[in-house]
A and B are shown apart, each in its own frame.
Chain A
Amino acid sequence: MKRHRVLPGFGLTIGWTMFYLSIVVLVPLSTIFLKATSLSWTEFCVDVLAPRTIAAYKLSFGASTAGAFVDSIFGFVVAWTLVRYEFPLRRLVDVLIDLPFALPTSVAGITLTALYAENGWLGRWFTPFGLKVAFTPLGITVAMAFVGLPFIVRTIQPVLEDLEPEYEEAAATLGAGRLQTFRRVIFPTLLPALLTGFALAFARALGEYGSVVFISGNMPFRTEVVPLLIMSKLEQFDYPGATAIAVVMLAISFTILLGINGLQKWAGRRLMAS
Chain B
Amino acid sequence: MAARRPDVPRATADPPAVRRALIAIALTFLALFLFIPLIAVFAEALGKGVGQYFAAITSSESLAAIRLTLMTAAIAVPLNVSFGLTAAWAIARFEFPGKQLLITVIDLPFSVSPVIAGMLFVLLLGIRTPIGGWLDDHNVRIIFAEPGIVLATIFVTFPFAARELIPIMQSVGSEEEQAAIVLGASGWQSFLRVTIPNVKWGLLYGMVLCNSRAMGEFGAVSVVSGHIRGHTNTMPLYVEILYNDYQFAAAFAVSSLLTMLAVATLVAKYFLERRVAPQVRLAAENQDVMEAAA
Contact = CB atoms under 8 A, between A and B. Distances in A.
Interface of A: 1, 3-4, 6-10, 12-14, 16-17, 20-21, 24-29, 31-32, 35, 74, 77-78, 80-87, 93, 95-108, 110-112, 114-115, 121-122, 145-146, 149, 161-162, 165, 168-169, 172-173, 178, 181, 203, 206-210, 214, 226-227, 230-231, 234, 239, 242-243, 246, 249-250, 253-254, 256-257, 261
A4 B219 contact: no
Contact of B89 (A9, A87, A98, A253): A9
B124 interface: yes
B113 A227 contact: yes
A112 B32 CA distance: 11
Interface of B is mostly: helix
Contacts of A121: 36, 40
Contacts of B109: 25
Contacts of B26: 74, 77-78, 80-82
Contacts of A84: 14
Interface residues of B, number: 100
B86 A13 contact: yes
Contacts of B258: 103-104, 107
A6 B182 contact: yes
Which interface residue of A7, A106, A161, A169 has the most chain B CB atoms within 10 A? A106
18 contacts: A4-B94, A7-B174, A14-B90, A14-B94, A16-B86, A24-B155, A74-B26, A78-B29, A96-B35, A104-B217, A104-B218, A104-B258, A105-B216, A110-B248, A208-B113, A227-B116, A249-B116, A257-B107
Contacts of A243: 119, 123
A35 B125 CA distance: 13
Contacts of A7: 93-94, 174, 177-178, 181, 187, 190
Contact of B40 (A95, A105, A111, A173): A111
B123 A103 contact: no
Interface of A is mostly: helix
B164 interface: no
B294 interface: no
Interface in B257-276: 258-259, 261-263, 265-267, 269-270
Interface stretch (B1-9, B55-63, B134-142, B197-205): B1-9
B116 A250 contact: yes
Closest 9 CB pairs of A and B: A207-B113, A104-B216, A172-B11, A209-B219, A8-B187, A28-B120, A102-B262, A210-B218, A161-B2
A108 to B, nearest CB: 7
Interface in B1-24: 1-2, 4-6, 8-9, 11-12, 14-15, 18-19, 22-23
A121 B41 CA distance: 12
Contacts of A25: 105-106, 108-109, 155, 158
A125 to B, nearest CB: 10
Contacts of B79: 20
A212 B87 CA distance: 34
B168 interface: no
Contact of B112 (A13, A81, A101, A253): A253
A106 B218 contact: yes
Contacts of A26: 105
Nearest to B12: A168
B37 A111 contact: yes
Given A29-B120, A106-B237, A107-B41, A86 B4 contact: yes
Contact of A207 (B22, B114, B243): B114
Contacts of B243: 110, 214
A210 B109 CA distance: 17
Contact of B116 (A111, A178, A207, A261): A207
Nearest to A93: B30
A265 to B, nearest CB: 11
A102 B255 contact: no
Contacts of A206: 113
A162 to B, nearest CB: 7
B238 to A, nearest CB: 9
A114 B248 contact: yes
A213 B27 CA distance: 28
Given A227-B114, A234-B119, A254-B111, 9 more contacts: A10-B93, A25-B106, A25-B155, A29-B108, A101-B212, A165-B12, A207-B115, A208-B114, A249-B116
Contacts of A208: 113-114
Which interface residue of A98, A103, A114, A169 has the most chain B CB atoms within 10 A? A103
Contacts of B94: 1, 4, 7, 10, 14
